[in-house]
Structure 1
Amino acid sequence: MLGLAHLDHTFDYLVDTKMDADAQPGVRVRVRFSGRLVDGYLLERIDDSDHRGKLSWLDRVVSPEQVLTAEMAALCRAVADRYAGTMTDVLRSAVPPRHARVEKEDCSQDVLPAVAAPGQTGWDVYDSAERFIDELRDGGRPRAGWQALPGEDVAARLAELAAIAAAAGRGVVIVVPDQRDLDRLEAACAPLLGDQCVTLAAGLGPTARYRRWLSVLRGRASVVIGTRSAVFAPVRDVGLIVVFDDGDDSLDEPRSPYPHPREVGVLRAHAAGAALMVGGFSRTAEVQALVESGWAFDIVAPRTTVRERMPRIDGISDEDRRIAGDPLARSARIPGIAFDAARRALAADQAVLFSVPRRGYLPSVSCARCRTHARCRACNGPLQMNDRGDLACRWCGRPENRFVCPVCAGTTVRALMVGDKRTAEELGRAFRGVPVITSAGEKIVDEIPAGPRVVIATPGAAPHAPGGYGAAVLLDTWAQLDREDLRAAEEAVRAWMAVATLVRPRGEGGRVVVVADAAVAAVQALIRWDPVGFASVELASRVELGFPPAVTMASVDGPPDAVAAFLDLLAMPAGAEALGPVPLPAGVRRPAGLDDSGAVDRMLLRTPRAVGRELAEALRAAQALRNARHDDTAGIRVQVDPPTIG
């Protein structure tokens, strides 16, 4: 557990006869390394060693609990190799910290109660779902991309799938983005799976989480549901792995080597012979690549069913007569057709949802003179303004008492974007007498009561309304589409579809107004509700331009001198190319360990997907060489397939 790239391999130690019974593969141990005691795991017991020097003795077995199974050890090694990281860093996510008192609790092997497969499920409306379920029940390894219908009860569908697998004697791991999704899934799983289902999430606290994790390890539960790191749960005989809404940035791991649960799920399903389903209301280019390669197949509903379930969706179009009668529609933040949709829903005693990209009052400002985005001098985060006119960083919270534009030396700012608080003020005046609810940031409302209400929410924070919203309005869409990011359009479609799926079907009067040009491809994908087609076009453009997932790409971030020194150590594989260096893209945090000042560069390395592993190996070798030489390259961040390309 040294965490250094040049020491990322196994070491042999002698085991004293007194420890022989407890020193079994998978247990935590303490060993002496370079004169100090360090923590580690015992991976294997062998009779002879290839090491020709003198071997040290195992200092002690910390616990006889075999917390690192052979399958988990192999998976962690594969993830570390895939992401050019160390196994120690992956183990930090896979195995929670030990709590001795919890390990001493009753460890007798209870007989798991039988799980009955649900007699009827909601999967019948999806093409190819029967094929997936039949193969899953028969012990096969089907792999699919699931396109959930608008308004679908995702928690119920996933619970049914888990019960089918558990009834067939197969273990299940389901990963969802956040606690709200997890709470709904837990409620859906409880009546079908009972004690067979265990929830794993950081919010449980370290003791409770370790207790539940041990119950899974000891075979007391066969189904695990959880957030990001739950994909590593030590489920026995895992037969089904599900990752839902893989495009949500909550699933982006912030710690090295930054593995994504979708990719971990792919590696684990392949190694364990398990079924894999990656689903969502929208679709990422990565899932589309799996489908188009033939590695996975589609689970989608017929178009007639999609049209029945989706709300009516309107964009801003010159050909629309309602736009022609509203000359300010194309320039107004909230055009007349949006107000019309909201008033109709409120008149029918239904709630209305206004979706805004950012929380706060004025969450993004720029120099009033040259329009350069105002950013924090400490962390490169965006500056925001509160209702008192004070500036502060949206990331680190550092106040900016005297703004000076680094481009033109201007000292005043102007609003670039309006947040949920300012929007609530505006809508409160527009809809007098109607309750106004905001849901964003740390104050997220999970569900609202029935009746007419105006709700302002940021993406992912919209509460559920009984029966669905009567209308939804998507505001400031330019802020989502105009970002200089490879995934801007993909993420915008994902956020919009997540909102639209909360609205009633068109047959019940549900309506969504997108304040954006209807001719834009991303807006058309929403209007037609065609996430698969949009993902296919997005993937084709990335193939043409040479961007992930068509290629393997890695980023090297850090001070310019440190990046250059690191690249000098890197033996680029054949066919790889370097792009840059360029300044760190806006919106990307500075690497850990850097002070507040100084430039940060990014170098992008690109190679064909077929030889992506060779690039990862080269990056690992360069990091090992850098550590071994004790080079002054502090603050370097190496990331394979970074979520933000810029």
Structure 2
Amino acid sequence: MSSNNGRPEGAGESGEAPVAEQLAFIRESVRKAKAPRARPRTWRGAELAAELPVARVLVDKGPVHLDRLWDYAVPAELDDRARPGVRVRVRFGAGTRNVRGGRREGGGLLDGFIVERVAESDYSGPLAALAQVLSPEPVLSPALLALCRSVADRYAGSLADVLQLAVPPRHARIEAEPSPAPLAPPAAPAAGSWARYPTGPAFLQALARGDRPRAVWTALPGPHWPGELARAAAATLASGRGALLVVPDGRAAARVDAALTELLGTGRHVLLTADTGPEERYRRWLAINRGSVRVVVGTRAAMFAPVRDLGLAAVWDDGDSSHSEPHAPQPHAREVLLLRAAHEKAGFLLGGFGCTVEAAQLVDTGWARPLAADRETVRAVAPRVRTVGESDEARDAAARTARLPSVAWEVAREGLTRGPVLVQVPRRGYVPRLACERCREPARCAHCAGPLEARGADGGLLHCGWCGQEARDWHCAECGGARLRASVVGAGRTAEELGRAFPSVPVRTSGRDHVLDTVPDRPALVVCTPGAEPVADGGYAAALLLDGWALLGRPDLRAGEEALRRWLDAAALVRGREAGGTVVVVAEPTLRPVQALVRWDPAGHAVRELADRAELGFPPVSRMAAVSGPPDAVADLIGMAELPPGTEVLGPVPVPPALPGRPRRQGGPPPGEHWERALLRVRPGQGAALAAALKAAQAVRLARREGEPVRLRVDPPDIG
């Protein structure tokens, strides 16, 4: 098969075309509409299906300039099996490129999905025939297709890329196995621990009635949240609908899985995580797709699970970076579930110990209602929080010898008489950043509030890491100071130092290389990095949150929010105040995140952060996209895109390469290449137009094969 301008001969196109080709496409459609359409033909004159002989196929090709449907003729022998939603194999023209494999196809066979069957094609030439129906199993439902299309449009990606995330690879042997028959809906569960929240029982009752409540849930500290998620799913199931619960990691999924099994028994839900393996995962996915089970709990890949009659979409701890998909187009689980709740008219629950600014915005706009306990209940179940500032450390001899201020040392010693003590240290490898020497407030650009960096041979020149402008005569906006300092971590030997400080107590570690799930209820020091905290039987007696500067000094808008979220996740594992639980945080007591931890008020902190974002014009109040690549390519794409009116371009600024021995960062340059990144910011309501403009410009550049490729990231989670 030959190609003509990148279009495969014998395949007709329909659906959405790139902006640069719209006018030509419309003219051609009008010309063909004036002439009678001929019956589709195949190359070899094979007999076609008697009814609806044209199949519109989504070919498994990643580039956005091929993000459209292609028409193929349906041979009579494939008529019964070539149904919408099934996997097929089709012949695609030479001149196209397999992005994932990096090789030319040469007119070879590619996989695809039949989207619909129609009577005739808009393409006037002969149509290529479907080569093969791989399976009669319909795996692409109209609801899943609509969701994937919405996700692709929102993130300026291709539909084929999203489908690779949504539909797992096929295993023929698994498809031959019968799925179990669905069980009858159970009775609505009792409120249980939801009774601790004033509106908790009403939320469950609304789900059981078949309503669509939407809530932002600020969970109380303690071990009850997996059971509360399970009860919300059980209430939805009682209404005859399905529930989808997405959590950050496999450990959290296992806890919710155990709670669902205890509440519902076996056979009513499935667990979808990477640990299950590809075959078992496909078996469970098929059971969901066939309607055998209606409740799903899993990690971010489960956000596309085809739950029948979805009644509740829930996500736990949406601030965790694990919810952000690293593969194109890099959607976030929270945003995908928001789209699902809107498309499928389902309830929505966004929960966690902390509260993101996105969650606060949902409440602020009235789209969701807050679901939280009253202050008396919070004070009763939350641990006591004590603070230690850096000035206190400087005067403290104990802090200089064991990296533990006297207050923390006393709390740890007393806690070890009653049970285990958790010690949280920041993850290694944060890049030193600049902060005011007097008040420790991060140094930010006066133009865009980006982080300041020291450049030049002697490090004497200050430039913004976002917009690139030089900062002359910098002064701290908080205290007026003019001297800067670098924030450092210094947590490499925490376990050894604590072992010397408490020689008779066992020290256990939990981190990236080895993560503990649980620890027994006996005296021990448990040193862990954020996100790797094991659950203690009966709760920890105390917790020490060290090196707060390393978290608060990160050059990102989310630094304070992320620090508070990590502290809350650790502190929530500690026994309540009434049981003697105490948390010590080593950070400046006057800072907003520290005060929010002391008051245990994550929602209030998120509201104030949202107000600051609105004043600065940063997400989620505005919408933003990052364009990364070689400097000429970045400038070419931005100049080509028909950006919405008022689009503000920040930068470009150099993209730092990966440090030696570190993995290459997402969106970072290949070794030896110089990349730049520009941030495009638009007003509220213009996000869809920005994504469409960037996608169209990217499609034109790829179709023309002009210049180096660039990477697009809509709503980047880290713009620091």
> TM-score with structure 1 length normalisation?
0.88
**Structure 1 residue 75: deviation in Å?**
0.2
Tell me if structure 2 keeps the 8 A contact 1:591–1:637. Answer: no
Q: Which residue of 1 aligns with 2:675?
A: 600
Q: Say whether the 8 Å CA contact 2:272–2:297 is kept in structure 1.
A: yes
Amino acid at match of 2:676: D
Change (3 A) 1:568 1:323: closer
Q: In the aligned structure 2, how far is the partner of 1:138 from the partner of 1:234?
A: 22
Letter in 1 for 2:85: G
Structure 2 letter corresponding to 1:293: T
Q: Is 1:19 equivalent to 2:81 in the alignment?
A: no
Q: How far apart are the structure 2 equivalents of 1:343 and 1:576?
A: 56
Of structures 1 and 2, the one with the larger relative CO (CA 8 A, separation 6+) is 1
Indicate conservation of the 8 Å contact 2:657/2:669, yes or no: no
Partners of 1:112 and 1:130 in 2: how far apart?
A: 25
Q: For residue 541 of structure 2, what is the aligned residue in structure 1? A: 470
Distance 1:448 1:590, change over 3 A: closer
Superposed counterparts of 1:83-482, under 5 Å: 83-107=155-179, 110-193=181-264, 194-316=266-388, 326=396, 333-348=403-418, 350-358=419-427, 363=429, 407=457, 416-419=488-491, 422-482=493-553
Aligned with 2:625: secondary structure?
strand
What is residue 692 of structure 2 aligned with on the other side?
Answer: 617
Give structure 1 stretches of 5+ with no counterpart: 368-404
1:522 paired residue among 568, 593, 601? 593
Are residues 1:7 and 2:82 paired?
no
**Aligned-partner Cα distance in 1 for 2:717–2:577:** 35
Contact 1:557 1:591 in 2 (8 A): no
Please name the residue that 1:378 is paired with.
none
For residue 118 of structure 2, give the secondary structure of its aligned residue in structure 1.
Answer: coil
Find the aligned partners of 1:486 and 1:366 in 2 and give their Cα distance: 16
3-state SS of 2:135 partner: strand
Query: Once the 2 structures are TM-superposed, how far is the Cα of residue 141 of structure 1 from its aligned partner?
Result: 1.3
SS at match of 2:146: helix
Q: CA deviation at 1:327?
A: 7.3
Would the aligned equivalents of 2:216 and 2:349 in 1 still touch at CA under 8 Å?
yes
| Alpha-carbon separation, structure 2, partners of 1:137 and 1:119 | 11
Identity of aligned pairs, percent?
A: 50
Change in 2 beyond 3 A, CA 1:196/1:366: closer
Return the match for 1:68 from 140, 162, 175: 140
Cα distance change, pair 517–331 in 1 and its aligned pair in 2 (3 A): farther
- 8 Å Cα contact 2:510/2:526 also seen in 1: yes
Structure 1 residues 586 and 494: CA distance shift in structure 2, 3 A: farther
Corresponding residue SS for 1:161:
helix
CA, structure 1 residues 260+592, in 2 after alignment: closer, same or farther (shift >3 Å)?
Answer: closer
Q: What's the secondary structure of 2:626's corresponding residue?
A: strand
Kindly indicate whether residue 621 of structure 2 is the aligned counterpart of residue 550 of structure 1: yes
Pairwise CA RMSD: 2.4
Which residue of 641, 649, 655 maps to 1:584?
655
The letter for the 2-side match of 1:101 is R
Higher Rg of the two aligned structures: 2
In the superposition, relative to structure 1, how do residues 486 and 331 fare at CA in structure 2: closer, same or farther (>3 Å)? Answer: farther
Instruction: Please tell me the residue identity of whatever aligns with 1:337.
Output: V
Deviation at 1:497, TM superposition (A): 0.2
Query: C-alpha offsets along residues 390-440 of structure 1, whole Å, 9 cap, x if unaligned?
Result: xxxxxxxxxxxxxxx99569xxxx9943345x1110000000110000000
Cα distance, 1:16–1:483 mapped onto 2, change above 3 Å:
same
CA gap of 1:331–1:266, structure 2 versus 1, over 3 A, is farther
Partner of 1:379: none
CA–CA distance in structure 1, aligned partners of residues 336 and 487 of structure 2: 41
Q: Contact (CA 8 Å) 1:333, 1:476: kept in 2 or not?
A: no
Aligned to 2:716: 642
C-alpha contact (below 8 Å) 1:257/1:639 kept by paired residues: yes
Secondary structure of residue in 2 paired with 1:12? strand
Amino acid at match of 2:629: G
One-letter amino acid of the structure 2 residue matched with residue 622 of structure 1 = A
Separation of aligned partners in 2, 1:523 and 1:533:
12
2:98 aligns to what?
none
Q: CA deviation at 1:490?
A: 0.6
The counterpart of 1:560, out of the listed 631, 634, 640, is: 631
Which piece of structure 1 moves more, 580-589 or 495-504? 580-589
* 1:132 positional shift: 2.1
CA displacement at 1:285 relative to structure 2: 0.4
Contact 2:385/2:583 (8 A) holds in 1: yes
Q: Which runs of 5+ in 2 are unaligned?
A: 1-59, 94-106, 434-454, 460-485
Alpha carbons of structure 1 residues 592 and 36: separation in structure 2 relative to 1, 3 Å? farther
Structure-2 change in CA distance of 1:326 and 1:531 (3 Å): same
Tell me how far 1:121 sits from its aligned partner.
1.7
Q: Structure 1 residue 600: deviation in Å?
A: 1.9
Q: CA deviation at 1:119?
A: 2.9
Are the counterparts in 1 of residues 191 and 200 from structure 2 also a CA contact under 8 Å?
no
Deviation at 1:575, TM superposition (A): 2.1
What pairs up with 1:626-641 in 2 under 5 angstroms? Answer: 626-634=701-709, 636-641=710-715
Instruction: Return closer, same or farther for 1:111/1:181 CA change in 2, 3 Å cut-off.
Output: closer
Alignment size in residue pairs: 596
Question: In structure 2, which of residues 563, 586, 589 is the aligned counterpart of residue 492 of structure 1?
Answer: 563
Contact 2:596 2:605 in 1 (8 A): yes
Q: Which runs of 4 or more aligned residues in structure 1 lie more than 6 Å from their structure 2 counterparts after TM superposition?
A: 322-325, 327-332, 585-588
AA in 2 matched with 1:336: S
Q: CA deviation at 1:324?
A: 11
Deviation of the 1:326 alpha carbon? 4.5
Partner of 2:540, secondary structure, is coil
Q: Shift of the alpha carbon at 1:365? A: 7.9
- Indicate the SS of the match to 1:198: strand
How far off its partner does 1:49 sit? 2.1
- Return the alpha-carbon distance in structure 2 between the equivalents of residues 209 and 144 of structure 1: 30
Q: Note closer, same or farther for the CA distance 1:541–1:364 as it changes in structure 2 (3 Å cut).
A: closer
Structure 1 residue 325: Cα displacement: 8.5
Cross-structure match for 1:33: 92
